[in-house]
Amino acid sequence: MNRTIQTIIGAGLVLVIIFSAISICQNIGKGLKADVTDQKLYTLSDGTKAILGKLNQPIKAKLYYAKTAALKGPDQIRFFNNYYQFVKALLEEYVVVSKGMVELEVIDPRPFSDDEVQALRYGLRRFPITQEENFFFGLVVQTQFGVEKAIPFFSPDRENFVEYDIS
């Protein structure tokens, strides 16, 4: 074999090995997470894990966040986008730890929609930010037996207590 063919075959083998290693790492790494924040913001407490472990019926968590309205609103409202991402990530951790007993639904209630009517029915706080747009940021938790609990508004002042408030 001449040198050129050996080089091409060698390069091809190296590429196959690299792609195989990447594929294996992706599959092994699925589901692995690390909370590298100083305060372990994305790690659920042992108390919350115990509560989730004892669930014997499915729970639906409806996170109402008027993302469209927030993007159109003033800077004070847009600030909530980061807090929303934090709350959503925390609720997604509830879903994982509960092993499917908690189902998360994220709702962007638009003006004059059924979602907006439902948000108001649940007692979520509405803040008008423009003539057409209202801002909502709350949570409704429902059991299959119709029991409903709501957090009318996620205030950034309670960021350190949000897991406690949800649990």
DSSP letter, residue 141: E
- In this structure, the answer to whether residues 28 and 57 fall within a common structural domain is no
Q: Which of 41-45, 99-103, 109-113, 124-128 has the lowest mean pLDDT?
A: 41-45
Is residue 39 a part of any domain in this protein?
Answer: no
- In this structure, the answer to whether residues 54 and 102 fall within a common structural domain is yes
Q: Which of 31-35, 65-69, 114-118, 137-141 has the lowest mean pLDDT?
A: 31-35
- In this structure, the answer to whether residues 69 and 25 fall within a common structural domain is no
Q: What is the pLDDT of residue 151?
A: 96
Q: Which of 9-18, 42-51, 63-72 has the lowest mean pLDDT?
A: 9-18
Per-residue buried b or exposed e for 89-115, using 16+ beta carbons within 10 Å of the residue's own CB? ebbbbbbeebeebbebeebbbeeeeeb
What would the two tokens of residue 144 be? 């299959």
- In this structure, the answer to whether residues 112 and 63 fall within a common structural domain is yes
Percent helix, percent strand, percent coil in the chain, to nearest 5: 50, 15, 35
Give how many domains the chain has, as a whole number: 2
Q: Sort residue 154 into left (φ over 0), alpha (ψ -120 to 50) or beta.
A: beta
pLDDT at 129 over 90: no
Is residue 41 a part of any domain in this protein?
Answer: no
What mean pLDDT comes out for the span 80-89? Answer: 93
What would the two tokens of residue 155 be? 């205030």
Domain containing 13: what range?
1-32
Give pTM, 2 decimals.
0.76
Closest CA to 81 of 93, 92, 68, 94: 68
Q: What is the pLDDT of residue 36?
A: 43
β partners of residue 103:
60
- Residue 77's φ and ψ, nearest 5 degrees, are -80, -40
Signed CA dihedral, 110, 115, 117, 122: sign only: negative
Is residue 38 a part of any domain in this protein?
Answer: no
pLDDT at 106 over 50: yes
